[in-house]
Structure 1
Amino acid sequence: MSADAVVETSGLEAVYGTGDGVGPVDLRIGAGQSVLVLGPSGSGKSTLLRLLHGAVPYAVHAQVDGVVNVAGRPVAGTGIAGLADVVGVVAQDPESGVCLPDVLDEVAFPLENLAVEPAAIGPLVRTALERAGAAGLAGRATAELSGGELQRVALAAAVAASPRLLLLDEPTSMLDADGIDAVRRALDVVRHETEAACVLVEHRLDELAGDAGAAGLPERWIVLGTDGRVRHDVAVGDLTAPMLRDLVGEGCWLPLDLELRALLGDGATGSEGAGESLAARLLRELGGDDATPAPDAAPRPAPLDAPILRAHRLAVSRGPRARRREVLHDIDLELRPGTTTALVGANGSGKSTLLTCLAGLDRPAAGTVDGPRAGLVFQNPEHQFTAITVRQEIGHGLPADAAPRVEEALAHFGLTRLADHSPYRLSGGQKRRLSLAAMLVHEHPFLLADEPGFGLDRHASVGVLRALRDVAAAGRGVLFSSHDLRAVAGYADRVLVLADGTLLADTTPLELLRDEPLLERAGLRPPALLRRLATEVDDGPALVAVLRAMDAAALALRVAA
């Protein structure tokens, strides 16, 4: 291994029993270098990270070939524990990595395992929590934290021991704007204040990049294709318009500056001439047919006797009796058939708790929930699974004659080839698609979805959002939580804004994007694209038209790719 290399692989390949996998990958990452790994759902991004710290094959079985060395140590024979002093990991699912009941103990745990001097542990824990934007969580119980709060704690634990290699698997997937800022700061610390190498898997590139655009992301990109092989290993400054179109065609999200180049060509600077706005140019060049539903897909007016899901003066508390904490209070809302409603707010604002309470899984401390039983798609798909195959999971609870409906759902969500696989052995994005398909086939009058875009690539995300739109068009009510304000603006008719455990506003996407005080109070920060479009469009339908035109163009590149 080269003296200055933190990671070096040769012919590295992993193949699961299903035939899926990643590689072969030849990779060299030097000290202080940051690498972004991207690709469609199921391309092997998480598997590549697991190979680098030994989780594959030591914890997750696969046939592994080739060589991988980290910090001068062969991963084969060294194992996970033998790399603990040089590798920090933030897993895609923070619940899989957070294991102790107290936040401070959780962050201290890796330091204690490495026999750090007891007097030094406290200051190191505080520094790590500050770097992860989680200082306010000190003293909290991990069981009381939201998914986004858990992710911040996992990030703090990963950086606490100042590892030589930091592996982050979609660290922003559950985070609000402040959490994404914390990840960005942590990456800056890794890049500029330490000699650590960093390998990052991420979908939400526009939000992670921030106003800096592509310049705010790691300088080296490794792109995996659907077959798990490396399609590109390139410096971000060397990306050409054809390469960018290939990335969009593979399902990758891009920061705004690069997405414009992919969709409009190398001449797309974002500064339009002759008085034409960016919104107008996008509609002119990309078209906007998807913005107007076909007559048979248009939302149907709900009949007067249609069911309503209603919460009145709702309050919910969480935690053990001695330290019970009020999560929600004074919630009044109504959900009606034929409408897609988004639920937004910062981490810990109560979004998941509100959804589980509306679904009847959390008992109110006060107030009432009235209406038909709603179907719920969990934030963590595995919490929903009950069967041993994908096909059985979709068909669970359905009558015997529902087989055609199950096969239709498999095909619609791109799961047919995985029908006989275990739900638990799918990639994160595949699990998300399965959880949504399994709930949609039951045709509840109301569908609740907690972060339905979590872990999905561009194409899969658009497919899920269109599925939710179609559910509403068929006369059912939809409520989905999301940190992705672009998804909210493109597919929600209405937005409920949560902060400090109560509803701040019941508004429309465009009104929300134009209300700076409301955005600030709710801890929301729209990406540059939305901020710009919100100032250029005349009304909500025009904003929807632009965003859906961009989505349709991305899907068209998939056909051409």
Structure 2
Amino acid sequence: MIEIENLTVRYGGEPVLTEVSAVVAEGELCLVVGPTGSGKSTLLGAVSGRVPHLTGGQVSGSVRVAGRDTRTHQPRDLADVVGVVGQDPQATFVTETVADELAFTMEQLGVAPALMRRRVEEVADLLGLADLRDRALHTLSGGEQQRVAIGAVLTAQPRVLVLDEPTSALDPGAAEDVLAALARLVHDAGVTVLLAEHRLERVVGFADMVISLDGGRAHAGDPAEVFAIAPVAPPVVQLGRVAGWQPVPLTVREARRRSAPLRERLGSPVLPTRDPGEAVVTAERVRVTYDGMIAVDGIDLDVRSGHVTAVMGRNGAGKSSLLWALAGAQRLESGRVHGDEQAALVPQSPEDLLYLLTVAAECRTADADAGAEPGTTRNLLDALVPGVDEEANPRDLSEGQRLALAVAIQLARSPQVLLLDEPTRGLDYAAKEHLVVVLEGLADAGHAVVVASHDVEFVAQVADRVVQLADGGVVADGPVREVLADSALLAPQVAKVLSPQPWLTVGEVSTVLAEEEP
């Protein structure tokens, strides 16, 4: 269905992709993996025809989709065959309501009204959108918007689906629902899916093949073979490498079957915890509503110095609204927030903080605004995502690169309280590990850090405390190990493999095993 032969893409300088070759058969789910900036989005763009027709650049080699050469077929010529879901759902919306958005592509393709209605209902049920069909798109949470964007593509029933981080804004439960829906399309309808995703722990079990990109070059093949040597891998694969398991496991189930000897060796973790300092931001009975809908419902919360607090919960639970309230940037219906003048917020959409024409200009301005030493912001950016072109326009960066730049700009201010809303969206494992180091350093220096996140693996690495929300209220508040290890939905992969012992990360296991070596 998808034939890629010696594909090379460059934008004036070094090639982004170099002689990439792969064949994805009809009815397969192919996972594209690689570090941030490795060319995943470019590869997906070449398959959809957006590269080079919409992006420019020099392309050699060929990509054929359902027999059509994407070099000679514009994206509009592929619209009946290829459906595309990008990283930013808001950028793709063209109507005002969920129902209209689900129907829009079919209207452009001339689908009969009766058939349109049936497909809208089927996709709404498939993705859990039935109760949202009359909602305005701008009132939806980030995860709800992502599901609508996927649904708007599915209603046209394309033979090939190209998805760029489709679960990045979704909570674990919603992500599983979307991936299960994609799996049904692959298995039951013969749809071919090409999917790029950084949160590999969510998707590896669904993949029929993997294309791993590193330095613009590709290694394609069976998932187990590729992940044995891939530069990025999910925690369960990393755990298998640390434990010396051959072949490496791809799923929690595979790892669990081999884990009994490892659990016996490890025992229970005895790890130090960071003592929280004083409360620097305090929320008292905070209540936030939108058009009569309750987003935050009377929450009391202390944000303490020297502490990393994670706010978790399903999409629409109130995480973003709570962070905006803690930053003093949200109108409260009732309650009070003390200390919000000490807080700096990085929103879900990092471009909200970016307004200059180059990365270098953003970094220089951030240094000047913060009164920091020249180069401070650039050094922070390099710690998160190395190698970002300083002359690049921030809007031309990948989602992960833009997010890293926004985080660096706020960190340059050395705020007493740093609030981050979904800070790992678009970041690969290495970039997340860098972010963990940065945030832990801030906490060790006495700052308070709050992250709202669906990324349980990141939370397991960085958080001291987890506050879990549901319907605008707090349903759990406690040490990260207690909250995560005790949850069937929120538990990270290592916790699921090594339960009942509450280990959370590969790093913890690796440290203990290293101490056993003579």
The two structures share one fold, judged by TM-score above 0.5: yes
User: Residues 261-300 of structure 1: matches in 2 within 5 Å?
Assistant: 261-267=240-246, 270-271=256-257, 277=263, 280=266
Residue in structure 2 matched with residue 317 of structure 1 by the alignment: 289
Is the Cα contact below 8 Å between 2:442 and 2:448 reproduced in 1?
yes
Per-residue CA distance 1:530-558 (angstroms, 9 max, x = gap): 23445214xxxxx36x54336889xxxxx
Q: Aligned equivalents of 2:222 and 2:307: distance in 1? A: 44
Q: Aligned equivalents of 2:329 and 2:82: distance in 1? A: 38
Distance 1:17 1:347, change over 3 A: farther
User: Residues 133-532 of structure 1: matches in 2 within 5 Å?
Assistant: 133-209=128-204, 216-225=205-214, 227-230=215-218, 232-237=219-224, 239=225, 244-247=227-230, 250=231, 252-254=232-234, 256=236, 258-267=237-246, 270-271=256-257, 277=263, 280=266, 302=277, 308-318=280-290, 323-371=291-339, 372-399=341-368, 402-416=373-387, 418-516=389-487, 524-532=489-497
**Displacement of 1:496 after TM fit?**
0.9
Residue 491 of structure 2 aligns with an amino acid whose one-letter code is P
Per-residue CA distance 1:497-527 (angstroms, 9 max, x = gap): 11011222221222213545xx7xxxx4434
Partner of 1:32, secondary structure, is coil
Decide which of 50, 57, 62 is 1:62's aligned counterpart: 57
Q: Aligned equivalents of 1:55 and 1:131: distance in 2? A: 28
Decide which of 78, 83, 89 is 2:78's aligned counterpart: 83
Give the aligned CA root-mean-square deviation in angstroms: 2.7
**Displacement of 1:435 after TM fit?**
1.7
Residue 240 of structure 2 aligns with an amino acid whose one-letter code is R
Partner of 1:81, secondary structure, is helix
Is the Cα contact below 8 Å between 1:391 and 1:410 reproduced in 2?
no
Q: Aligned equivalents of 1:195 and 1:272: distance in 2? A: 33
Distance 1:82 1:552, change over 3 A: farther
Q: Aligned equivalents of 1:441 and 1:311: distance in 2? A: 26
**Displacement of 1:76 after TM fit?**
2.5
**Displacement of 1:270 after TM fit?**
4.4
TM-score (norm 2): 0.89
Distance 1:299 1:497, change over 3 A: closer
Decide which of 54, 67, 71 is 1:72's aligned counterpart: 67
**Equivalent residues, number:** 502
Per-residue CA distance 1:396-441 (angstroms, 9 max, x = gap): 2433762042343244234455223222222222222222111111
Residue in structure 2 matched with residue 558 of structure 1 by the alignment: none
TM-score (norm 1): 0.83
Distance 1:401 1:220, change over 3 A: closer
Partner of 2:446, secondary structure, is coil
**Displacement of 1:20 after TM fit?**
5.4
Decide which of 492, 496, 501 is 1:536's aligned counterpart: 501
Distance 1:417 1:181, change over 3 A: closer
Partner of 1:316, secondary structure, is strand
Percent of aligned pairs sharing the same letter:
35
Per-residue CA distance 1:368-413 (angstroms, 9 max, x = gap): 2221341111212222212222232233243376204234324423
Residue 398 of structure 1 aligns with an amino acid whose one-letter code is D
Residue in structure 1 matched with residue 516 of structure 2 by the alignment: none
Residue 183 of structure 1 aligns with an amino acid whose one-letter code is V
Q: Aligned equivalents of 2:90 and 2:388: distance in 1? A: 28
**Displacement of 1:91 after TM fit?**
0.9
Is the Cα contact below 8 Å between 1:170 and 1:455 reproduced in 2?
yes
Distance 1:177 1:278, change over 3 A: farther
Residue 259 of structure 1 aligns with an amino acid whose one-letter code is Q
Is the Cα contact below 8 Å between 1:244 and 1:259 reproduced in 2?
no
Distance 1:408 1:273, change over 3 A: closer
Residue 211 of structure 2 aligns with an amino acid whose one-letter code is I
Alignment of 1:99 onto 2:88: no
**Displacement of 1:75 after TM fit?**
1.9
Per-residue CA distance 1:453-493 (angstroms, 9 max, x = gap): 11111111111112111111111100001112222223211
Q: Aligned equivalents of 1:126 and 1:533: distance in 2? A: 41
Single out whichever of 186-195 and 271-280 deviates more from structure 2: 271-280
Q: Aligned equivalents of 1:514 and 1:15: distance in 2? A: 45
Q: Aligned equivalents of 1:414 and 1:169: distance in 2? A: 19
**Displacement of 1:273 after TM fit?**
8.1
**Displacement of 1:74 after TM fit?**
2.3
**Displacement of 1:29 after TM fit?**
2.3
**Displacement of 1:352 after TM fit?**
1.3
Is the Cα contact below 8 Å between 2:303 and 2:448 reproduced in 1?
yes
Residue in structure 2 matched with residue 112 of structure 1 by the alignment: 107
Q: Aligned equivalents of 2:511 and 2:51: distance in 1? A: 37
